[in-house]
Structure 1
Amino acid sequence: MRFRRSAVAGVAVLALALVSACNDSETGQNGDTSLEKVSYLTSFGTFGREAYAYVALEKGYFKDAGFDVTITPGSGTVDVLKLVAGGQADYGIGDFTATVITLGNQKLPVTTVGMVQQKSMAAIVALEGGSINRPEDLPGKRIGDQPGSTNQVMFPVYAKAAKIDPEQTKFVANPPPQLPQLLSSGKVDGIGQFVVGVPLVEKADSKGRKAVVLPYGNLLPDLYGNTIITRNDLAKDHPDQVKKFTTALFKGLQDAIDDPAGAAKTLAKYVPNTNVDVATAELQLMKPYVKPDDFTGPLGEVDPVRVQKVISLLEEAEAVKPKGAMKPADVVNDALAPKG
Structure 2
Amino acid sequence: MRFRRSAVAGVAVLALALGSGCSDGETGQNGGDSLAKVSYLTSFNTFGREAYAYVALEKGYFKEAGFDVTITPGSGTVDVLKLVAGGQADYGIGDFTATVITLGKQKLPVTTVGMVHQKSLAAIVALEGGKINRPEDLPGTKIGDQPGSTNQVMFPVYAKAAKINPDETKFVANPPPALPQLLSAGTVDGIGQFVVGVPLVEKADSKKRKAVVLPYGNLLPDLYGNAIITRTDLAKDHPDQVKKFTTALLKGLQDTIDDPEAAAKTLKKHVPNTDVEVATAELKLMKPYVKPENFDGALGQVDPARVQKIIDLLEEADAVAPKGSMKPADVVNDALAPKG
TM-score relative to the length of structure 1: 0.96
Q: Aligned-pair RMSD on alpha carbons? A: 1.3
Amino acid across the alignment from 2:138: L
User: What CA distance in whole angstroms lies between the structure 2 residues aligned with 1:99 and 1:125?
Assistant: 22
Matched, 1:87 2:87: yes
Alpha-carbon contact 1:41-1:80 (below 8 Å) kept: yes
Whole-angstrom CA distance in 1 between matches of 2:3 and 2:157: 24
SS in 2 for 1:255: helix
Q: Identify the residue that residue 99 of structure 2 maps to in structure 1.
A: 99
Among residues 5, 11, 16, which one is paired with 2:13 in the alignment?
Answer: 16
What is the distance in 2 between the residues matched to 1:14 and 1:90?
16
Letter in 2 for 1:296: D
2:163 aligned residue: 163
1:17: how far off?
1.4
Take 1:134 and 1:165, find their aligned partners in 2: how far apart are those partners?
14
1:153 alignment counterpart: 153
Q: Alpha carbons of 1:286 and 1:79: their partners in 2 closer, same or farther (altered >3 Å)?
A: same
The one-letter code of the counterpart of 1:317 is: A
Distance 1:25 1:160 in 2: 42
Q: What are the ranges of 5 or more consecutive residues in structure 1 without an aligned counterpart? A: none
Instruction: Describe the SS at the equivalent of 1:183.
Output: helix
Query: Residues 22 and 39 of structure 2 are in contact (CA less than 8 Å); yes or no, is this contact kept in structure 1?
Result: no
CA displacement 1:190-213 (0-9 Å, x = unmatched): 000000000000000000101000
Shift of 1:241: 0.2
Give the aligned partner of residue 210 of structure 1: 210
Q: What residue identity is the alignment partner of 2:38?
A: V
Distance 1:74 1:326, change over 3 A: same
Determine the C-alpha separation between the residues in 1 that align with 2:15 and 2:264. Answer: 24
Partner of 2:127: 127
Tell me the CA shift for residue 24 of structure 1.
5.2
- How many Å apart are 1:156 and its aligned residue? 0.2
1:45 maps to a residue whose letter is: N
1:271 aligned residue: 271
CA distance in 2, matches of 1:32, 1:241: 15
Counterpart contact for 2:145–2:176, Cα < 8 Å:
yes
2: CA distance, partners of 1:14 / 1:37: 20
Letter in structure 2 aligned against 1:253: L
Deviations 1:56-108 (A, max 9, x none): 01111111101111111111100100110111110000000000000000011
> What letter is aligned with 1:96?
F
Partner of 1:295: 295
Cα distance in 2, alignment partners of residues 276 and 159 from structure 1: 35
Distance of aligned partners of 1:74 and 1:33 in 2 relative to their CA distance in 1, 3 Å threshold: farther
Letter of the 2:100 partner, please give it.
V
Aligned residue type for 1:14: V
User: Does the 8 A contact of 1:143 with 1:170 survive in 2?
Assistant: yes
Q: CA deviation at 1:11?
A: 2.1
Mapped to 2, the partners of 1:123 and 1:25 lie a distance apart of: 34
Unaligned runs of 5+ in 2: 24-30
**Partner residue, 1:36:** 36
Is 1:305 aligned to 2:305, yes or no? yes
Q: Residue 68 of structure 1: SS of its match in structure 2?
A: strand
Number of the residue aligned with 1:326: 326
| Number of residue pairs the alignment of both structures matches | 333
Tell me the CA shift for residue 14 of structure 1.
2.0
Q: Is the 8 A contact 1:32 1:68 kept in 2?
A: no
TM normalised by structure 2 equals 0.96
| Cα gap change, 1:66 to 1:144, in 2 (>3 Å) | same
State the Cα distance separating 1:10 from its structure 2 match. 2.4
CA displacement at 1:232 relative to structure 2: 0.5
Question: Residue type of the partner of 1:145?
Answer: D
1:136-182 CA deviation, whole Å, 9 max, x = no partner? Answer: 00000000001111000000000000000000000001000000000
Q: CA deviation at 1:301?
A: 0.5
Partner Cα separation in structure 1 for residue 285 and residue 146 of structure 2: 22
Provide the secondary structure at the position in 2 that maps to 1:157: helix
